[in-house]
Amino acid sequence: MRSLLCLLLFCTSGAAWTAATNAESLAALGTKYASLEQALRLSQFRQPIVLDSAETPDAVRGDIYAVIDFPFEAASSGLNNPDHWCDVMLLHVNTKYCRAAHGPSGVTLGINIGRKTPEKLADTSRLEFHYRVAAATSDYIEIVLVAEDGPLGTSDYRIVLEMMAVPNGKTFLHLRYSYTVHLAGRLAMQTYLGTLGSGKVGFTVSGTQADGQTRYIGGVRGLVERNTMRYYLAIDSYLGSAGATPAAQLEHRLQSWFAAAERYPRQLHEIDRDAYLEMKRAEHLRQQTVH
């Protein structure tokens, strides 16, 4: 009897702790939303999006805060599924393959990343993300993806998405994308940024050029800002396809993601529409057939 009572008390206290933690997370996100209301209205993106980034000697992160035109229930149910996340991730121009697997240690997403052109899987890099729903209530959700190891001297990849309901049937979203960069990764990134990545920029305004044009941040922060935006656009495009028939959803997502990325050609243009669509249709087919 005493053991049963202790178990019941433990379960009750654990549930209470979880509820309190969820309430704190929701309150923190609500406070952030209130502090960003004006910035969201005056956003440089001409839609309610705020982007922030930071770089330290060994890590880099990007954060996007946005109000999306989907009710919280629809956004939450659409993304509270690891298979749906594979559909999201594949929209990113560098994602070549994604598959969710359920095992003894939980759910993992095996994701292959590579160039912005068609590639064999053997020529790509693989990340194993552990997928976890950290919180899910009627008005708040937090989903966490963590990969311990990455390519080219990187590690500790984290993709964190949290959402809450806001007025007028919309949802406030916070997306964080971050990873650790070791010495080998720094050297590889410096090589990339000095060659193929030279001239590529992010979204943060860093000043004005001599000709009066806006100067945007470059380097590693520019890199993480571009990828954070690509993941955000993938989430938005995935949710926007829900109203299409199942047969039309893939095409809707692809067309939507490419059109959204092309609104920011200075940062995100990589390939033309036909090349993107052909590549992604083939990669989607491979995702359905290769295990």
pLDDT on residue 69: 96
- Say how far apart CA 131 and CA 147 lie, in whole Å: 9
Burial grade of 183 (CB within 10 A; 0-12, 13-18, 19 or more): exposed
Tell me how crowded residue 249 is: count the other CB atoms within 10 A of its CB.
16
Chunked into runs of 10 residues, the chain (291 residues) has average pLDDT values of: 55 58 88 97 95 94 98 96 96 97 92 96 96 95 96 92 97 97 75 75 87 86 96 98 95 98 96 98 93 74
Which pTM does this prediction carry?
A: 0.90
pLDDT on residue 19: 61
pLDDT on residue 190: 75
Residue 71, beta-bridge partner list? none
Which residue spans within 167-199 are E strands per DSSP?
170-181
Token pair in block for residue 160: 């964190």
- Say how far apart CA 291 and CA 125 lie, in whole Å: 16
pLDDT on residue 20: 61
pLDDT on residue 193: 72
pLDDT on residue 10: 53
pLDDT on residue 17: 44
pLDDT on residue 153: 83
Structural domains of the chain sorted by starting position, each given as residue range(s) with its CATH number in brackets: 34-289 (3.30.530.20)
